[in-house]
Every structure is written in C-alpha cells, then in structure tokens.
Chain A
Amino acid sequence: MTMQIADSGSLTSPDAKARAHALAARDNLRTEPRAVRIVIIALAMLFLSVFVVLPLVVVFAQALSKGIFAYFAALSDPEALSAIKLTLVVAAISVGLNLVFGLVAAWAIAKFDFPGKTFLITLIDLPFSVSPVISGLVFVLLFGAQGYFGGWLRDHDIQILFAVPGIALATTFVTFPFVARALIPLMQEQGTQEEEAAISLGASGLQTFFRVTLPNIKWGVLYGVLLCNARAMGEFGAVSVVSGHIRGETNTMPLLVEILYNEYQFVAAFAIASLLAMLALITLIAKTILERHLDEGQDVNDH
C-alpha cells in the first residue's frame, strides 16, 4: 500500500510524468503486439546462433578436440607455417597495392569531374560482381603456359602462375574495391573546400594531400584496409585457380584447410581454420571501433 502511494507520488513530479508519457508514446509507436515482437526477435537470434555462432564454436571445438598440444603441434607443422607465411606476404602485397590504387581512384572520382567517371566507378565494382574463380582463370589465360604472355614469360624465366606473384595478383584483383569503396562516399561528402582553402593559403598539391586530405580520411582508409586484409587472407576461389597447390610452397591458409580436411586431418584443418576465424573476430571488433570514429568524423562535418 505504502509502495503504491510512493509510486503515484513520484509519478506526479513533472520529470517522472514526462518520462512516463515518453515511454507510453514509444510503446504506442510499436504497433505489433508483444508476442509478435518476441517471436520475431527469437527467430533472428535462432538464425544467427545456428548459422553464425554455432559454426564458429564448432571450429574451435574441433581444433581443440585432441587437446591444446595437438592444436599447437598442428600449427607449428612446417607446411602450416609456410602457409601462414605465404598468406601474410600475399595479404601485405595486395593490401599495399590496393591502398595506393584505392586512394588514387577515390581521389580522382571524388575530387574531379572527368569524362568516363561513371564507367570507372562501375569498373571498380567489377571484382565484386565476378566469381573469384573467373578472376583466377583470367590470370591463367594471361600468364599460363598457353596464355598470351606465357611464351614470353617462359623465355625470360619469369614465374607468375603457381608462384607468389600470381597469388598476389589474383588476390589484389579480388580485393580491389574495398579501399576505393570505403573512401569514395567519404571523400565526396567532405567535398573540396578544405583542399581549396589549403591551396589558396599557399600549399602545394602534395602538402594539401598529406596535411589536409589524408588526415580527414584516415579512419576511412583504415576501415578499407581492414576489410581488404580480411578478404585477402581468406580468399579461396581465385587463389585456388592460380596457386597450383604446391605443398609447402604455394598453399595459402584457406587452401591448406581444404587439403588437410580432404586428408581427414581434422585437428590440423580446424586449427588453421581457427586462425582465420580469429582474424574474422578481430576484424569485426576493429571494424566496430573504426565505424564509431567514422561517425564522429561526420558529426564534425555538421554546421
């Protein structure tokens, strides 16, 4: 009884009243009955658990099924180490190249008007719309023994297919859109006024780029690099076509996972897979943090 009095008493204070009103209004806006809401949310959670969380758990469970020593033994196998090293090298090359290409492309598209701009934007998206296997085959057609440049390459003793250059090329092609895609909308929204201000203050083109443009897009660059890196390390299709699967030499981590799995070496396969899964988790966390920075950057933009 006293509780009730106290409750109604607190409700009469203007603040509490306003809050109660706001709550009621918010409830009214959600027209679906409570039961429907619960069902919808439960469905979403169930779907996520089965299709996202469960596989992730299974990967780690399988990797550790024979104990922690077997797990580390699998990871320190020479073949595994070589695959990890190759993956890191290829990712470093393709992320580096795409960082430069992506920056240049985004800069050209966002800050200048030129004929063929729309075509260029479409072209940037091409690697996303083409199956990775085809991306790989293109390089086989170009650099393979029967390919257009095959003879010339053989004469000059340059190995592209079934070697690091081919894998790096295929990966670069597949991951090309990430940096450019992250930067184009950001740079378009920021416009060219700060650059114009810098130039009218006497800055050279390079000074303007490094002192004004780049600091303004640094979070966007990191965001693009992060996604590009995640995809570069995880790429399977295109790399599978050009790598030749030479054990201990041209197997990247995803390729090695498949080979080990096909040889019933489940612990080893899942141990490597767990590394890729961890990469994904770290990417997700870093992505969330970067997105927060990107949002802040946009707030600054408001007048």
Chain B
Amino acid sequence: MTIEVRNLVKKFGSFAALDGVDLKVNDGELLALLGPSGSGKTTLLRIIAGLDWPDSGEVAFNGEDALTQGARERHVGFVFQHYALFRHMTVFENVAFGLRVQPRSIRKDEATIRARVKELLDLVQLDWLADRYPSQLSGGQRQRIALARALAIEPRILLLDEPFGALDAKVRKELRKWLRSLHHEINVTSIFVTHDQEEALEVANRVVVMDKGKIEQIGSPDDVYETPATAFVHSFIGESIELPVQVADGVVRLGDRPLRLAVDGLAPGASRLFVRRHDMLVGPPGSGAFEGAVQHVRNFGPVQRAEVALSGGQTIEIDAPRGRELRAGDTVGLEPRRYRIFAG
C-alpha cells in the first residue's frame, strides 16, 4: 500500500500544525517522522489514520482518496504512545476486539478468532499473558499488546505514534530491534513518529525530518545524517558545533578571523557554520582553521570530550579520539574535516 500526501494544511486556531506537507510513502516501507514536539508529526500521522481532518490538502492510499473515509473504514492499524489498551478487558480480549466488532456478515467464528489472537500473541511473544489485564503488564508488554491488537485487523497500513516514548531506555532499545525485525516479517507499510533521532536512524528505511509544520528533509538515515539539507536538520540530528560566520569577498570569517574554508556557491552575508564534534581534528597551534585553548576534558570510553575556547570568544565542545591526550590549558589548532555552511 502506498500513501500519498499532497499540500496538507492543518491549523489549530492561528497555530499551523501542518503548513503545506507533501509526502510519498512507498509500499512496504518503514518510515520515520522525526522532529521536535510541536513540529506537526503526530498531527500528520493522525490525519493519515483518519483521527483528525486537514483544513486542506489530499491524502491518498494506493492512489485512492482516503479523506472520504472515516477512521473506521480506512483499515489502518494505529498504535498510541500511551498504548490506549482497553483497561477493563483482558489482553486476549484487547487483541480480539478488532475481530469481534466486525459486521456480522464478515465476522469470523469464535474458534477462528481464538486461533488468530493466539497467533498474534505468539508473534509478539506474549501468549502467556492472555488472561492478564493491562494494569498488570509492564510498559514494554503493554506496547507489544497494543501492536498485536492493531495487527489483528490485518491493517493496510501500520501507524505508530511515539511507540516507545513512554518506556525506559533499555526496554526502548530492545523494542526498536524487535520492531524492525517484526516489520521485516510482516512487511506492511508503516510510519512511526518519534522525537528520538537515534530511534529514527536505527529503525527506519527512510527518515522524514519535520519542523514547524514543514518537511525539512526526506532521505535515508545516512542521507539525513551525512548530508543534512538545512541548518535545522544539521543541528537536530547528531551532535553539532554551530558557529555564526560572515561570508564576504570569497572569505568566511568568524568575527574578524578569516577561516581557510572553501566558499564555493555561498551567498555573501551572515551564515552559520556546522561541524560534527568528531569531525574537528586536533593539531598543533597554527595548524588549522581555528585556534583555541582547552578548558576542560572528560573521557567517554573511546573519545575524549574537550571544551575549547576559540580565539574569537566562542566555546565549543569537540570529540577527539583517545591516544593523544588533551589537557586543560593546552593551545590547539582545529581543522574541520567536513563542514557545512548554511545562509541565515
């Protein structure tokens, strides 16, 4: 099932949650909507599910208009951040719900429903919890049951709203791997919303980065990390050093200091320079584009994180490999191995 979204606009009062969003999701894809809170990613997901309605724009499933259908007809599996399990039903009945509310004409008999629920509970590896109530489960178990419940209706599309947002870090990591392998197994077109970049990069085939109701970049996890399209993407994904620079007469300046950096194709004016922390190479004084004094060093396993006060006055944090130990008070030269400059 493909999903196509065209020029979607949704306003809450004067606040534009979605401000002209275009997106195409391929069949069988596992897509991540990544962005800070308030970026519109959940609104987009809810509109695709039919739980919210856009002010204008189009949503099509396999080329067919989906906006003429309500959530009930769209046949979309939705997994909520806070699970939204039916608290008065057992795990078994929760998973069976979608099968039991089917119109009488197509409803399966009790034995088929039981077999199907059993199969789904096996799939999420929680068949031994069938008779429990949601309140007796851990967060990770609840989320897996919520997923089994959504899969029971054999959805055409699976939508997950911050599926691991309410879980602790360790469970989250386990579930990420599990979700990826589950998707591999069932291969249904899936979109999940997250504000956690690590989650998006690790789980998804493609990542959509959103900010303020607009899509900033669509690309593979490698794309959005290695070649960020905008300043926002660069600062949002991965740890970045951000410096305000001036581009004029073919030279990049940080304050008064000219930097020996290429300026091909850059418009003159105030710009922002982005460098990944680990892309800042440390050398002897005078050896790089920047120069600074080490203020403070902490060791994180294979890297040492140093706070460096640049001669221009800014303080930046860099990650240098261990081996050549830095010490507070050292003067060092810094050369960005890779960098990006964005206007504005």
- The reply to whether A194 and B87 contact each other, CB–CB distance below 8 Å, is yes
Q: Which of B74-82, B181-189, B228-236, B317-325 contacts A (4 or more CB under 8 A)?
A: B74-82
A194-B87, A215-B88 given; A202·B135 CB < 8 A: no
B101 CB contacts on chain A under 8 angstroms: 198, 201-204, 207, 211
B47-83 vs A, CB cutoff 8 Å, 1 = contact: the mask equals 0011100000000000000000011101111101011
Q: A199-B72, A299-B135 are in contact. Are A193 and B82 (CB under 8 A)?
A: yes
Given A200-B49, A201-B101, A193 contacting B80 (CB threshold 8 A): yes
Q: Are B71 and A200 in contact (CB under 8 A)?
A: yes
| Chain A CB within 8 A of B259 CB | no
A34 at the interface (CB under 8 A from B): no
| Interface-central residue, B74, B76, B84, by most chain A CB under 10 Å | B84
Q: Are B76 and A200 in contact (CB under 8 A)?
A: yes
How far is it, in angstroms, between the C-alpha of A300 and the C-alpha of B71 when the chains are bound? 27
B152 surroundings in chain A (CB, below 8 A): 201
With an 8 A cutoff between CB atoms, is B134 at the interface? yes
- Chain B interface residue count, CB cutoff 8 Å, equals 34
B134 to chain A, nearest CB (A): 7
B166 at the interface (CB under 8 A from A): yes
Indicate which residue in B50, B74, B88, B135 contacts A216 across the interface (CB closer than 8 Å). B88
Residue of B nearest to A218 (CB): B88
B196 → A minimal CB distance (Å):
18
Query: A294 — which chain B residues lie within 8 A by C-beta?
Result: none
Interface size on A, residues (CB 8 A): 21
Interface residues of B in 78-111 (CB under 8 A from A): 78, 80, 82-89, 97-98, 101-102
A212 lies within 8 A of chain B by Cβ: yes
Kindly state the separation between the CA atoms of A193 and B84 in the bound complex, as whole angstroms. Answer: 6
Q: Is A142 in the interface zone, CB < 8 Å from B?
A: no
Q: How distant is B160 from chain A, measured CB to nearest CB, in Å?
A: 12
A contacts with B: majority SS: helix
Assembled-state Cα–Cα distance A194/B84 (Å): 5
Query: Is there contact, CB below 8 Å, between A200 and B78?
Result: yes
Query: Which residues of A in the span 255-303 have a Cβ within 8 Å of any Cβ on B?
Result: 297, 299-301, 303
Tell which of B80, B97, B134, B139 touches A203, judged by Cβ atoms closer than 8 Å: B97
B149 contacts chain A at the CB level, 8 A cutoff = yes
**Complex-state Cα separation, A204 to B73, whole angstroms:** 10
Specify which of A194, A202, A212, A216 lies most central, judged by the most chain B CB atoms within 10 Å of its CB. A202
Q: Does B153 contact A (CB under 8 A)?
A: yes
Per the bound structure, the CA–CA distance linking A197 and B85 in Å amounts to 8
Q: Per-position contact with B for A182-198: 1 when CB-CB < 8 Å, else 0?
A: 00000000000110111
How far in angstroms is the closest Cβ of chain B from A8? 44
Chain A hits for B50, CB < 8 A: 200
- Are the CB atoms of B84 and A204 closer together than 8 Å? no
Q: CB-nearest residue of chain B relative to A299?
A: B135
Q: Which residue of A lies closest to B76 (CB)?
A: A200
Q: How far apart sit A199 and B51, CA to CA, in the bound complex (Å)?
A: 9
- State whether A194 touches B86 (Cβ < 8 A): yes
Per-residue interface assignment for chain B, residues 17 to 49, with 1 indicating a CB less than 8 Å from any chain A CB and 0 otherwise: 000000000000000000000000000000001
- Whether B49 contacts A201 by the Cβ 8 Å rule is no
Q: How far is the CA of A203 from the CA of B152 in the complex (A)?
A: 13
Query: Which chain A positions have C-beta within 8 A of B153?
Result: 201-202
Q: State whether A216 touches B87 (Cβ < 8 A).
A: yes
> CB within 8 A of B86: which of A199, A202, A212?
A212
Task: Please pick, from B82, B102, B146, the residue contacting A202 in the complex, using a CB distance under 8 A.
Answer: B102
Closest to B87 in A: A300
Q: Are B78 and A197 in contact, with the CB atoms below 8 A?
A: yes
- Cα of A197 to Cα of B265 in the assembled complex, Å: 51
B85 contacts across to A, CB distance below 8 A = 194, 197
Q: How far is the CB of B103 from chain A (nearest CB, A)?
A: 9
Question: CA separation between A300 and B133, bound complex, in Å?
Answer: 9
Minimal beta-carbon separation of A215 from chain B (angstroms): 4
How far is the CB of B147 from the nearest CB of chain A, in Å?
A: 12
Q: How far is the CA of A194 from the CA of B74 in the complex (A)?
A: 18
CA A32 – CA B101 in complex, angstroms?
Answer: 60
Cβ-defined partner of A201 (8 Å) among B51, B87, B97, B135: B97
A262 shortest CB reach to chain B, Å = 51
For residue A190, which residue of chain B has the nearest CB? B87
In whole Å, how far is B139's beta carbon from the nearest beta carbon of chain A? 7
Chain B residues, Cβ within 8 Å of A212: 86
Known: A197-B78, A303-B82. A204 touches B87 (CB 8 A): no
| 6 contacts across the A-B interface (CB closer than 8 A) | A196-B51, A197-B86, A198-B101, A200-B74, A202-B102, A215-B88
Please list the 7 inter-chain residue pairs (A to B) with the smallest Cβ-Cβ separation, ordered nearest first.
Answer: A201-B98, A193-B84, A300-B135, A203-B101, A197-B84, A200-B78, A215-B88
Residues on B lying within 8 angstroms of A by beta carbon are: 49-51, 70-72, 74-78, 80, 82-89, 97-98, 101-102, 133-135, 139, 146, 149-150, 152-153, 166
Given A194-B84, A196-B71, A202-B153, 16 more A-B residue pairs with CB atoms under 8 Å apart are A199-B71, A199-B72, A200-B50, A200-B78, A201-B153, A202-B75, A204-B72, A204-B101, A211-B101, A215-B88, A215-B89, A216-B86, A297-B87, A299-B135, A300-B134, A301-B87
